[in-house]
Amino acid sequence: MRPSESVPSTRIIAGREIGESLRSRTFWIMTAITALSVVALIVVPGLVDRPERPPVIGLAGAPAQSLGPSLRTVAEAAGVQVKVVDAPDVRTARAQVRAGDLDVALSLERDGEGAAVAEVKESLAPEVAALVRMVLDDAYRRRALEEAGVPPATVARVLAPVTLRTVALEPPPSDRAARSVAAVAAGILLYVTLSLYATAVSSGVAQEKTSRTAEVLLAAARPTQLLNGKVLGIGACGLGQMGITVAAGLIANAFAGSARVPATVWTLLPTILVWFVLGFALYAFGFAAAGAMVARQEELSSVTLPITMPLLAAFMLDFVAMDSPDVWWNRVLSFVPPFAPILMPTRLALGHLAAWEMPLAVAIMLASVYGAARLAARIYAGAIVRGGACLGWRDALRLRAFSG
């Protein structure tokens, strides 16, 4: 009976892999851990982070209290969050600083022009110090000009702040912070899932080879059917686990009311899933070939190292390029197949992707997956039933394929 006429086929082998994963307690434990981790990343910061109390400046005595309107006006113009309150005298303000009710006790010395004292418990925040100095300088100049006989209207006109209008030539998106969080989350999620499920493929292949299960399966299925079925089955489980994780995150965000999910999430999510499928296919075929080359399970880490390093490098470069997504090397590497599954979704999440870049990257990736599948099938067919010591990559490429 020809292998194509027997029970096992690519579809049935994939179903076998899915069934084994769904019956595995480890699969469900990992699914729960991944989903709960994403939920925690969304919910916990909202519970822990509390808005900081703005610094409270206490104006001790009538001379200092005359600076209150100027302090409030300048703080609002400078975008500095402060609260200005009045204190009856220096002694009371000093006691409130020690008690933690005031951050700064500001008083003016009557003896000596322009002299002021700012009393704090430990240190004075730089932005508060700059604000106080600005107001004190303005008050001193105003008083000096008025004492010199300059009309108050002229003083007001001269000391009025100059209006500064800022025009952003390339304004960032309004949800930039949420986009950054989404980019980090996408990079971590893709790296973890690609590593986990690609490793599962190599472990499964190595186990079938070392336990001689592959010889039994190859009696009824061609090597390419066995290889493709394993990749499809484990990939489908990974895609389902990622879908559960993403759904858990969206539900948690809806209940938590977090702003950490950008408005572009419905564009980003399908992209993440697409790049998971493409990235998994590329790496899984390589890991499957590596699994067929080993003689013992313990040899997997050394054989898969040349494939693992590009994935790890892409993950590390993802964080390096976060601040400068348009830097030339990041744009170039995002088209290179081993790096694209992580770098491309990150650039999309940050909003730094031209319309033509994604289709081109996907086309390059599809061609690379096809090439990887052909190369992996060649190695797998030649190495899966071969005994002896662990093969090197050069020797594996020279093997003759198992004909069944």
Tens-digit pLDDT profile for residues 143-171: 778 778 878 788 777 777 677 777 777 66
Give the CA dihedral 176, 178, 183, 188, nearest 10 degrees. 150
Same domain, 93 and 129: yes
What is the rounded CA–CA span in Å between residue 175 and residue 161? 31
CATH number at residue 80: 3.40.190
Same domain, 118 and 185: no
What is the rounded CA–CA span in Å between residue 84 and residue 107? 13
Residue 348 resides in a domain: yes
> Mean per-residue pLDDT for 238-253?
81
Residue 363: band (very low, low, confident or very high) from pLDDT cuts 50, 70, 90: very high
What is the rounded CA–CA span in Å between residue 159 and residue 176? 37
> Mean per-residue pLDDT for 127-131?
86
The residues pairing with 83 across neighbouring beta strands, listed in sequence order, are 56
pLDDT exceeds cutoff 50 at 4:
no
Domain extent, residue 139, equals: 56-159
Residue 35 resides in a domain: yes
Long-range Cβ contact pairs of 310-316 (< 8 A, separation 24 or more): 310/338, 310/339, 311/191, 311/194, 311/195, 311/198, 311/283, 311/338, 311/342, 313/338, 313/339, 314/191, 314/338, 314/339, 314/341, 314/342, 314/343, 315/187, 315/188, 315/191, 315/342
What is the rounded CA–CA span in Å between residue 292 and residue 16? 19
The residue whose two tokens read 């209207």 is 153
Same domain, 217 and 301: yes
Same domain, 30 and 116: no
Residue 168 resides in a domain: no
The per-residue pLDDT of the chain, averaged, comes to: 80
Nearest to 209 by CA among 26, 387, 27, 3: 387
Q: Which CA distances in Å does 245 have to 64, 86, 189, 252? A: 57, 53, 9, 11
What is the rounded CA–CA span in Å between residue 247 and residue 146? 67
Same domain, 26 and 62: no
Largest Cα span, the chain: 113
Write the CB contacts of 115 (distance below 8 Å, at least 6 apart in sequence).
108, 109
Residue 404 resides in a domain: no
Positive or negative torsion for Cα 265, 267, 269, 271: negative
Same domain, 27 and 86: no
Same domain, 144 and 183: no
Same domain, 39 and 93: no
What DSSP string describes 32-69? HHHHHHHHHHHHHHHHH--PPPPPEEEEEHHHHHTTHH
Same domain, 386 and 299: yes
Q: Are 109 and 117 in contact (CB under 8 A)?
A: yes
State both tokens at 90: 């220096």
Same domain, 36 and 113: no
The rounded percent of the chain whose pLDDT value lies above 90 is 9
State both tokens at 144: 């000096």
Q: What's the confidence (pLDDT) of residue 302?
A: 87
Q: What's the confidence (pLDDT) of residue 403?
A: 44
pLDDT exceeds cutoff 70 at 258:
no
> Mean per-residue pLDDT for 68-74?
84
Residue 167 resides in a domain: no
Write the DSSP symbol of residue 183. H
Q: What is the domain count for the chain? A: 2
Residue 236 resides in a domain: yes
Residue 165 resides in a domain: no
What is the rounded CA–CA span in Å between residue 259 and residue 136? 39
pTM: 0.67
Q: What's the confidence (pLDDT) of residue 121?
A: 85
Among 159, 193, 222, the domain-final residue is 159
Same domain, 219 and 290: yes
Q: Which CA distances in Å does 266 have to 22, 252, 272? A: 28, 16, 10
State both tokens at 62: 């009538």
Residue 189: band (very low, low, confident or very high) from pLDDT cuts 50, 70, 90: confident
Q: What's the confidence (pLDDT) of residue 111?
A: 46
Same domain, 199 and 347: yes
The residues pairing with 85 across neighbouring beta strands, listed in sequence order, are 58
Max mean pLDDT among 202-216, 298-312, 314-328 falls in 298-312
Predicted confidence (pLDDT) per residue in 87-107, tens digit: 888 889 889 989 888 888 888
Residue 51 resides in a domain: no
